[in-house]
Each structure stands twice: as C-alpha cells, then as structure tokens.
Amino acid sequence: MAETVEIDAKRLARVKTLKASSHNGPREGMCVLEAASYIAREPWSDHPECVCPVIGAFLRSWNDGLPDAERTTLLLPLLPKLVGTRNPAMEERRSLMAADWLVRTHTPAWLDLAGLTAQAQSLRTLPEITSMAQVPSIHGPIEAVRQDAAAAWAAAGGAARAAAGAAAWAAAWDAAWAAAWDAAGGAAGAAAGAAAWDAAGGAAWDAAGSAAWAAAWDAAGDAAWDALEPTRQALQQSALALVERMIDLKDA
C-alpha cells in the first residue's frame, strides 16, 4: 500500500527554486528529492523515504540533467505529488514503464529526426513492455535498429558529433535508464534478466545516440541546438507525463 504522509504546507510554500546536485541543507538550495524530504519533515536527503525509489531514481538524474532555466518550471509542480508515493507493490511496474518509454517513445523520436522512420516505427509497434520476460524477444529488433542508426552516424562522420555538442537529448534518457534499471537489477533481480535488459537497453541507447548525432549532421554550431531542440522539448514533456503516470500508480 502507498504511504500516507502529511505535507508541511508552510515549507512547501518556501520552495521556489530547484537546483542541480545535492546540498547540505535548505540554505544551500535543494534538488527536487531534497525538497520532498523537506516538505515531508524527514531527515534531509535526496533519497527520501516518502518517495518511491524508482521515481526517485528518475528524478535525481533528470533534475541534474535539466538546464537551470527548465528545472524549476518542469519539476516544482511535481513536488507535492511525490510525497507518499512509496509503494513496493508498484516498483517493478514503474520500472517497466520507464523501460517501455525508453524503447517505444524516446528512441523513435530521435530515429525520426535522423530520417530513420521505418526503424522508428519498428520500435513504436513493439508490444508494451510489462514484464522482464519480454526482454529477450525485444533485443533483436532493437539491435537491428541500433545497427542502422550506427551506420547513419558513421556516414555523417565526426562533424556530426561536434555539431551535436553536449547531446541535449541525453538528460531524459539518463533519468529513465536510472529508473528502468530497477526492473533488472532491483525488482526482477535475476542475473540472466539483468544481462538481457542491459543488452536491450544498451542497444536502444546506441540507437538513440547515433540518431541524434546523425540528425545534427547538416547543422553547425548554434544551429545544431536549434535542430535538436524541438525533439528535446517534446521528449521533456513526454518524460514529465511518464512521471505523472508513475505517480498515479501509487494507489493502484
């Protein structure tokens, strides 16, 4: 069952800005998870007991990967919803939701941008990932897409990597991977399952990364950011919706 945790309304009202990384106390600033511990009157921590560890893994990574200008706008509205989400019965399901988003939403978005629309569609039409038992069956299709994306990247050459700069696409990926890994290394736990998911997830990472670089091939300097930015922004909103869906499972 989900926990019932009272939120300190006065403390919540004091939280105006969220910062990257961890801090020694509220006077230094706070990330979204530290803010959750603060408003729940828990001991100061970026691993608060009141927050589901899967959602926490997602948000710790995403909080730090977001640009300063976006962090507070995107994450602060989630803050009161996070408190009380810990529910061990929902952890594996939430992990698999993150995994499914990586494979069937995040990666296809970059494949489309790179012109690999058939490959994007092949991932979108995979069945929803609801069990670790599915992982071996999806590895083959993901690996095929990875090879195609890698070929596009190789064709683009080193200039694509330079043009794409800091790989703005990666923040939401890193966050979802942190949460999805709980499905293999945490809730599911079996060594064989973990190895299979690592292979499938690694291929999806390579596919998304290669596609992002290739998509920037025709751009240079600041123009590269402009080319990638609409997709990054769309995926930020999609990642936000994913977190909202994971939160909504707390009483399922």
CA-to-CA separations, 108 to 31, 89, 142, 209, in angstroms, rounded: 30, 30, 11, 11
Taking the C-alpha atoms of residue 52 and residue 100, their distance in angstroms, rounded to an integer, is: 18
Position 8 scores a pLDDT of 97
Neighbours of 133 (CB within 10 A): 10
Nearest-CA neighbor of 30 among 45, 51, 8, 52? 45
* Lookup: tokens for 38: 């603060």
pLDDT value of residue 112: 82
pLDDT for 83 equals 97
Cα dist. 28→7, 19, 119, 213 in Å? 21, 9, 46, 36
CA-to-CA distance for 123 and 111, rounded, in angstroms? Answer: 10
Task: For helices 191-215 and 170-181, give the axis angle rounded to 10 degrees.
Answer: 170
Torsion of CA 225, 21, 59, 223, to 10 degrees: 0
Per-residue pLDDT of the chain (252 residues; tens, 9 = 90+): 556 889 999 999 999 999 999 999 999 999 999 999 999 999 999 999 999 998 998 899 889 888 898 999 999 999 999 999 999 999 888 888 888 888 888 888 877 877 788 988 998 999 998 887 887 788 788 888 778 877 776 666 554 444 343 344 456 656 666 666 654 444 443 443 444 445 555 566 566 666 665 665 545 555 655 767 788 888 889 989 999 999 998 555
Residues 6+ apart with CB under 8 A from 124: 104, 105, 108
C-alpha 99/C-alpha 106 separation (Å) is 10
Give the count of alpha carbons within 13 A of 93, CB side only. 13
> Whole-angstrom Cα distance, residue 82 to residue 78?
6
Q: Could you tell me the residue ranges of all domains in the chain?
A: 9-82, 88-251
